Structure formats: C-alpha cells, structure tokens
Chain A
C-alpha cells in the first residue's frame, strides 16, 4: 500500500477533486435555501436562485431610473478605477523604493526604518486622517489602498533585491556596469517577477481597503452597494455582488500570473506535478 503522501491525483482527477467541495457548498446552500423558502416564502436571508436571478436582473441589466446607469456597471467601473489607480501607483512606488533600498546601502540606511515603521500602522486607523486631509472624494479612497499595500510590497521587494547573490553584483561590476546599469539590467529584471507575485498577494488587502472606504463614504462602487442594500436585508443582491467581486479578483490574479509566466519564463522553473 502506497503512503498517502505519495499518492497523486491525475490531471483530470485533480480538477474534479477541486470542484467537489465547491459543488458540495453550493448544494448545501440550495438545500438550506429551499427548506427555508418552503417554510416562509418571504424569507430574505437565504434567497432561492429565482430570487437572486431577479436581483441580478435589476442590478445588472436595468438602468437605475435616478442615475440612468446600470448599477452593477457603474459600481464595477468606479471600483476598478479606484483599485487600478491605487495599485498602479503602489507598484510604481514599490519598484523605485524596493530597488534602491535593496541595492544601495545609503538608501537602505535612510529609508529602511521609515518604511518598516509605516508598514506596521494599521491603514484603517489612518482612514479618518485621510478623510480629513483629502476629503470624501476619490483621493482618500485611492490613498487608503496605496498606504495599505505599498509598505509591505516595498519591504518584500527590497528584501528580494538585497538577496540577489553578491557574486552577481560583483560580476556585473567586473563587466563594467555602473550603479545605474546594475540597477537597470541586473536588479530590475529580477525584481519584476517578484513584484508581480507581491501584487497578486496585495490585491487581497487592496480589495479590503477599497470596500471599507466605499462602505464608509461613497455614492457609487461595489462596496457602497453592498453596504447600502444591507439595510434592506437584500441578500438577493449582496450574494451576487460578492460572487462578482470574487470573480473579478480571480481574473486579476490569473492575469497577473499569466503575465509573469509569459514575460518572465526564466523565473518559473518547470515543476513536477505535485
């Protein structure tokens, strides 16, 4: 008998095994929802599929008579714009700071402690400051996401760059590379795949900060909508919104992963299926 730790599912089997728990959860929900519905047809806590379909219909396919826009489209556009701008700024800042802190001892000595200090401040705690300083508009939401994810990403990238073997840095210099060229052609290309990995991990907290900011002060956005309809116990809208947000997050994660695999193939050694 083979040990359990040596037994591996085949490709098809792996897919099936991965789907099973998800299907089980969906099934469990359907059973509970149907049971509750038969007992009380006006139950709002666990809407049956038909109710959710009606919710999706109003939110995703009909224009809001007040704004003239389809709510789901307007919310998605607003949220993705905030997320995109913030994550883009965070990535650019991380690249500059992470590379210089990781490679240059003087920058590390002067900025390292500051970044380490900022990264331990809980971002939500500074949200009131951001609202006071930047107002309730787009800026404070973008800054919250930026402040929330950048310090950790900078620290991660700086550590990664600092861990480039000394031999490589010396080798580059013996080949005539200046500080700039070592940064540009040795450190930067090796930092990029790590930055993408770091972005993938940071998207999770980025969504948390986005939804928090939208929940507190906003008039459009995915987080705003969820917290708005919460007042009416509108689970038939909240649940599809949560699924939609998860779907967006998964797509972003897969896109970043695909980008890393195609553009930085050297950083992805072929793995044994495990």
Chain B
C-alpha cells in the first residue's frame, strides 16, 4: 500500500513556478533518491514532505490523510548541517525526542522514565558508533560523527519517514562510504521509508530502491521562471543489475 502520495502538487512564489504537476507515490519501505540540477526544486520537494512549506495547489497525503502542514514527529529529518543542537551533549541530543514526548511542560524526563530514555539513547548511539562520545558536545565531533549523531537523534522517536537533505554532502569520500553502509543498515533495521536529496548521482543509485530526477520539462527562454520543475525521470531499481547510472541522467546531472 502506498504511504506518501503527492497529487498534482504545484509550488509557486508569486509569478515564479518552482514545482509543477508533481504526481508521485512513495511506497512503504522505499528508499527514494532525489536528484536533479541546482534550482530544480529538490529541496522544495523535501520541504513539502517535511511540512515546512505547503503546496500552492494539489495535495500531499500520508496514508490517505492530508499531511499536517508543519513538521511533526512522524517525519524525521537529517540536514547537511545544523542538524544537532550545539548546546547539548551527544546523549542529550538523542534523548531530546523522548523528553519532548514524555514531558510536555518541562521538556525533561525524570526518575525511571529518564533512566529508560538514557538507556535507549545510549543503545542507539552505540549502534551508530558513538559509544565513546556520550558526553561530547557536537562542536568536538567530526563532520561524519555529527551526522551519525543526527541520525541517532532522528531515529529515537521511531519516525515512519526519514527525510535526508544532502546528508553526506559535506563529508570526506571515505567517511561517506561508511555512512552509506550505516544508513542502509538503519533503513532495514528500522523499516524506514527514506527520501534522500543528493547531488551525488552515484550515491543516489547505490543507496536507493528508486531514483527520481527533478528538472524542468519545458523552457521558455523569455520567461524561464514561468515553467516549474517536476519529476522527469523515475527509475525503480529492483535488482543490483539496474544500478548503473543511465546515460540520459549523466547529461541531466552534471557535477554539483
């Protein structure tokens, strides 16, 4: 059954059309990579899924219900930067989600609940490889470790959908490979549905079960802003054989 559905979604800023006629269904448990040239509305699309922005026209449905128009705990997110709170140590960053759920007034759990939350957070931190950094503040963590922390932080509330906005874009190639392995494992373990925006086309095809490319279908040289982007290519990747990057895309997505 389909989980997240975009029905004829348009996003317009005044006379500028960013996204037009986006029709997309994301199945439960899919790992969708979203690619496209700069300014093709990838990030806008993710903001829609996040609820950070509402479509000008059309509807976004989650299990048949209209998506709430603001970010909520059913959709986790990891951004390229600023994903973790600089004033909390790693452990507090991860327990934050549980604190919010269990203590709406003080934002801090107490007693037994606090102990349980800390145990759960420690387990998750150990899972992403940060078992030696419970008390470390994000500033003292490397870029890759910060993204590991951000993943643990997002997963503690057991979101149904995980949104990744160029999560590995700022990392070294070696660290990036480790993170690819980690995200694939977490995706299976937590039975997540993932939408990932990326600039790296190889990454898109390596990780995704489906690759969606955004671009403008039509160009008006006199008024380039009057046509928006939409999902121009949609590749399901059912087996390993199809994971080579199609030539048509190499032309579409040049180096970032």
Residue numbers of A with Cβ under 8 A of B are 165, 167-168, 170-178, 180-181, 184-186, 189-190, 264-267, 269
- Within the complex, the shortest CB–CB distance from A72 to chain B, in Å, comes to 42
- Within the complex, the shortest CB–CB distance from A43 to chain B, in Å, comes to 58
Excluding A178-B100, A185-B96, 6 further A-B contacts by CB distance (< 8 Å) are A168-B83, A170-B71, A174-B154, A175-B156, A176-B97, A180-B107
B97 / chain A contacts, CB cutoff of 8 Å: 175-176
Q: Is the CB of B81 within 8 A of A167?
A: yes
Q: Is the CB of A173 within 8 A of B137?
A: no
- Asked if A177 meets B82 with Cβ closer than 8 Å, knowing A266-B137, A266-B139, the reply is no
Q: Is the CB of B82 within 8 A of A165?
A: yes
Q: Is the CB of B107 within 8 A of A174?
A: no
- CB contacts under 8 Å to A, within B150-179, are 153-154, 156-157, 159
- Chain B: interface size category: 35 or more
**Chain A minimum-CB-distance residue to B161:** A174
- Asked if A171 meets B73 with Cβ closer than 8 Å, knowing A176-B97, A181-B104, the reply is no
B245 / chain A contacts, CB cutoff of 8 Å: none
- From A171, A264, A269, contact of B87 by CB (8 A): A264
Q: Is the CB of A174 within 8 A of B71?
A: yes
Q: Is the CB of A184 within 8 A of B72?
A: no
**Chain B minimum-CB-distance residue to A184:** B107
Q: Is the CB of B82 within 8 A of A174?
A: no
Docked CA distance A174–B139 (Å): 22
- From A174, A186, A267, contact of B85 by CB (8 A): A186
**Chain B minimum-CB-distance residue to A178:** B104
Residue numbers of B with Cβ under 8 A of A are 50, 52, 70-73, 75-77, 79, 81-88, 96-97, 99-101, 104-108, 137, 139, 153-154, 156-157, 159
**Count of A-B contacts with CB under 8 A?**
85
- From B73, B81, B84, contact of A174 by CB (8 A): B73
Nearest 7 interchain pairs by C-beta: A173-B71, A165-B82, A175-B97, A167-B82, A176-B73, A176-B100, A181-B107
Docked CA distance A186–B159 (Å): 20
**Chain A minimum-CB-distance residue to B92:** A185
B71 / chain A contacts, CB cutoff of 8 Å: 170, 173-174
- Within the complex, the shortest CB–CB distance from A163 to chain B, in Å, comes to 11
- Within the complex, the shortest CB–CB distance from B190 to chain A, in Å, comes to 15
Considering residues A170, A175, A189, which has the most beta carbons from chain B within 10 angstroms of its beta carbon? Answer: A175
Q: Is the CB of A170 within 8 A of B99?
A: no
- Asked if A185 meets B86 with Cβ closer than 8 Å, knowing A170-B52, A173-B71, A175-B153, the reply is no
Considering residues B73, B85, B156, which has the most beta carbons from chain A within 10 angstroms of its beta carbon? Answer: B85
- Within the complex, the shortest CB–CB distance from A152 to chain B, in Å, comes to 24
5 CB contacts below 8 A, A to B, read A168-B82, A171-B153, A176-B73, A177-B107, A185-B99
B154 / chain A contacts, CB cutoff of 8 Å: 171, 174-175
- From A167, A178, A180, contact of B79 by CB (8 A): A167
- Asked if A189 meets B87 with Cβ closer than 8 Å, knowing A165-B82, A174-B154, the reply is yes
- Asked if A174 meets B86 with Cβ closer than 8 Å, knowing A181-B100, A185-B96, A266-B137, the reply is no
- From B70, B79, B81, contact of A173 by CB (8 A): B70
A167 / chain B contacts, CB cutoff of 8 Å: 79, 81-83
**Chain B minimum-CB-distance residue to A183:** B107
Q: Is the CB of A266 within 8 A of B86?
A: yes
**Chain B minimum-CB-distance residue to A173:** B71
Q: Is the CB of B87 within 8 A of A174?
A: no
Q: Is the CB of A190 within 8 A of B73?
A: no
A185 / chain B contacts, CB cutoff of 8 Å: 96, 99-100, 107-108
- Asked if A176 meets B157 with Cβ closer than 8 Å, knowing A167-B83, A181-B107, the reply is yes
